[in-house]
Amino acid sequence: MPISGMSYASLEYADEFMATQLFDTPWIDSDPNIRVKALVTATDYLNKNYLWTGELNTDTLSGELIASGNLEWPRIDAINSCTDTEIDDDIIPQALMIGTVLEANYLLGCSSAPGEPNLQVSEGITDAKLDVMQVKYDLSSIATNAKVNVPDNVHDVLKCFGILTNTNKNWAQGHTIRA
């Protein structure tokens, strides 16, 4: 069962799945409350960065879930493009739950808040002074770094269910989920 209509995967599902994974350190090292935040954030990021197949099935969602606006599944007339088969209109595909967990684990392994410029990189520096220690950034030149990254392992799981609309692969260098 999703987390109160805010995530495609429950904490219990995510914990069980990550227990089978080799690269689970960010997940295991995080407090369960932070894991929940990561799952909700991952769901939001995936929805903002994928154009899902089919249309939202509002008949299977309660009014509370529709009001939350975070879930884009279940869907009507959704097709798994890898197998060319229709997806039941009352389920969240297991691949979407797995993709959500993998994205959450990825986010937990980053080191500053998503959407904040990574000031550890020189990209965007327009002027620097050493005498009075002043650095000027042109934030418009690094705005693409604020976009959500969908790692290849997550996209490999989700590519059959929608089109990735944000192909920025470097946004989260140095980002993390805040407590």
- Domain layout of the chain by residue ranges: 11-117+146-164
Looking at residue 161, what is its pLDDT?
A: 95
Q: Give the separation between CA 97 and CA 67, rounded to whole angstroms.
A: 21
Cα distances from 156 to residues 96, 102, 134, in angstroms, run 11, 11, 43
Task: Classify burial at 24, counting beta carbons within 10 Å of its beta carbon; exposed 0-12, middle 13-18, buried 19 or more.
Answer: middle
Hey, which residues does 163 pair with through a beta bridge? 51
Question: What are 142-164's pLDDT values in tens digits?
Answer: 444 444 578 889 999 999 999 99
Looking at residue 176, what is its pLDDT?
A: 36
Looking at residue 167, what is its pLDDT?
A: 60
CA atoms within 13 A on the CB side of 170: 8
Q: Give the separation between CA 89 and CA 92, rounded to whole angstroms.
A: 8
Listed residue (87, 65, 63, 61) closest to 76, CA to CA: 87
Inter-residue contact 71 to 65 (CB < 8 Å)? yes
Determine if the pTM surpasses 0.75: no
> Which of the residues in the chain have pLDDT under 70?
1-4, 60-69, 111-148, 167-179
Looking at residue 46, what is its pLDDT?
A: 94
